[in-house]
Amino acid sequence: MALSVAMHQARPLGHLGLVAAAALALVLTGCSSQQSGSAQVIDGHGGAPVRQPAAGGQYIVQRGDTLYSIAFRFGWDWKALAARNQIGAPYVIRPGQVIRFDQAGGQVPVVAKTIPPVGNAKPVAMPPPVRPVAPVVAPVITNTPAKPAIQTAPPANVPLQKSASGWVWPASGALIGRYSSNGSLNKGIDIAGNLGQPVLAASSGSVVYAGSGLRGYGELVIIKHSDTYVSAYGHNRRLLVREGQQVKVGQAIAEMGSTGADRVKLHFEIRRQGKPVDPLQYLPKR
């Protein structure tokens, strides 16, 4: 290629030569742009790719999933997701179950068919076909004795200073990461601390998820406070609560750690109807 270009430059370019050179430049430019690619957006709190709210498709329930963790993962309000999939209280799901995110639950609207008239007879409208309803499979309930709830009082060195809306800080420590309204950045706040430091429930509620199934959050606790608000506590070393447990504001729910993170810290989120909001608007002023 170098020899060919050198010989080409050695003699004057005619009209056809100029056209060929321009075409070659366009080809090289196109190849360069195709090879450049695009950068992957990374979540600032834990290095996990950020998911935008799912507007279509479906998800197959895996072992350890809850309706609340799926809603949290895909940016949905848990009530809307339950209604979309016709899941009623107590909102039990099972492995292998299909959770849909499309507008009509993946069903095609049924249109009544009309039989063409025979002779002078009037057309007769046929009712839409009746879709078979899948039988509801009740969850298998065993007689395994329930584990006793771990009741841990808040440490004396963390004052329970409440905001006007009743929230408290989930941990003491320096604020090292702030919320960003840009969906590709931090969806909560990050609080520095020491390994094993108590992580507190920022408000009273029910634990709806406790595990490590959500990539980028490490050992995670999600608390449902009302039909509108849930809060999330990520990167813990050890969880002190279990799913279904009622917790009080200021109660220790975990020990701070670095699971799924590059340092010891607490990643804290508040979500209103499934959408992340700035926790600093709800927590008391420091």
Q: Kind of pairing, strands 124-125 and 114-115?
A: antiparallel
- Going by C-alpha positions, the residue among 80, 97, 252 that lies closest to residue 168 is 252
**Among 82-96, 147-161, 237-251, 256-270, the least confident range:** 147-161
CB 219 within 8 A of CB 212: yes
Q: Identify the band that residue 11 occupies on the pLDDT scale cut at 50, 70 and 90.
A: very low
Tokens of 217: 């959050």
Any idea which of 29-38, 58-67, 200-209, 263-272 has the lowest mean pLDDT?
29-38
| Alpha helices (H) in the chain, listed in sequence order | 2-10, 15-36, 67-73, 78-84
The domains found in the chain, sorted by start residue, are 175-281 (2.70.70.10)
Question: What average pLDDT score do residues 64-75 get?
Answer: 91
| Structure token digits, residue 78 | 């848990």
Contact between residue 171 and residue 199 where contact means Cβ atoms under 8 Å apart: yes
Note the pLDDT of residue 39: 33
Residue with tokens 């430049």: 25
Note whether 243 and 200 are within 8 A (CB).
Answer: no
Tell me how many helices (H) and strands (E) the chain has: 4, 14
Q: What radius of gyration do the chain's Cα atoms show?
A: 28
Of all residues in the chain, the percent with pLDDT exceeding 90 is 51
Residue 132 has phi, psi (to 5 degrees) of -65, 140
Task: Please tell me the predicted confidence (pLDDT) of residue 286.
Answer: 86
Residue 32: the pLDDT is 37
The predicted pLDDT at position 160 comes to 79
- Which of the residue ranges 8-17, 178-187, 273-282 has the most confident prediction, judged by mean pLDDT? 273-282
> In which residue are the tokens 């039988």 written?
135
* 61 confidence band (pLDDT: 50, 70, 90): very high
When pLDDT is averaged across residues 22-48 and rounded to a whole number, the result is 39
> Which residues on neighbouring strands pair with residue 266, listed in sequence order?
191
Average pLDDT over residues 256-275: 96
* pLDDT tens digits, 124-174: 455 555 454 444 444 444 444 444 444 444 444 445 789 888 999 999 999
Token pair in block for residue 20: 């060929």
Q: What is the pLDDT of residue 174?
A: 96
Q: Is 281 helix (H, G, I), strand (E, B) or coil?
A: helix
DSSP helix/strand/coil, 190: strand
Q: Which two tokens stand for residue 51?
A: 């998911």
**pLDDT for position 170:** 98
Residue 230: which residues within 8 A CB-CB, separation 6 or more?
Answer: 68, 72, 78, 205, 208, 222, 223, 224, 270, 271
Q: What is the pLDDT of residue 149?
A: 45
Digit-coded pLDDT (tens) for 202-220:
999 999 999 999 999 999 9
Confidence check: pLDDT of 239 > 70: yes
For β-strands 229-239 and 175-177, DSSP reports them as unpaired
Residue with the two structure tokens 């039989």: 115
Tell me the pTM: 0.64
| HEC readout, 238-266 | EECCCCCCEECCCCEEEEEECCCCCCCEE
Q: Which carries the bigger pLDDT value, residue 27 or residue 126?
A: 126
DSSP class of 23: H
Helix, coil or strand: residue 188: coil
CA-based angle 197:69:261, to the nearest 5? 40
- Residues in CB range of 273: below 8 A, 6 or more apart: 77, 79, 80, 228
**pLDDT per residue over 84-126, tens digit each?**
999 998 899 999 999 999 865 444 333 334 444 445 545 545 5
**Amino acid present at 158:** V
Q: Mean pLDDT for the chain?
A: 74
